[in-house]
Amino acid sequence: MLHDPLTGLPGHALLLDRLEQSLIRARTRGTLVTLVLIRDPDSVLNAAKVLRAGLRPDFTVARYRDTVLAVLAEHDFGDGSPISSLIRQLVGESPQIHWVTSDGDTAPEDVISTAESR
């Protein structure tokens, strides 16, 4: 699904495409990619709105699964901790937040798998 009908956000398929493109840019430009998964927000629709309004416009906010939102961010240095901290401030304490940062040398499926297992 390219777009989620409930939230209007990119869906699973579009998230995977954007992740793959971000990883290619990371490899070729020497940048980093952070994927953050937000599990079980109190309200997926509310969390989607809050994230879209509170994050940089170049971050991708997507609906990964029924009760999982994803944020994809490209950045020049560091890791995903500042991004995950900002997300925590926006969505509150109840959702589980898992993140992983890649330099582009990882397959999209492996990035997602790593984030899911943390």
Domains of the chain: 12-117 (3.30.70.270)
The yes-or-no verdict on residue 99 having pLDDT over 90 is yes
- Full-model pTM: 0.95
Which residues fall within 8 angstroms of residue 43, CB to CB, at 6 or more apart?
none
Give which of 94, 89, 102, 79 is closest to 53, Cα–Cα: 89
Dihedral over alpha carbons 94, 61, 102, 18 (to 10 degrees): 150
> CA-to-CA distance for 43 and 94, rounded, in angstroms?
11
Residue 83 in 3-state DSSP? helix
Give residue-wise pLDDT tens across range 41-74: 899 999 999 999 999 999 999 999 999 999 999 9
Mean pLDDT of all residues in the chain? Answer: 95
The yes-or-no verdict on residue 2 having pLDDT over 90 is no
The yes-or-no verdict on residue 1 having pLDDT over 80 is no
pLDDT score recorded for residue 108: 96
Q: What tokens does 87 get?
A: 């997300």
> CA-to-CA distance for 51 and 90, rounded, in angstroms?
7
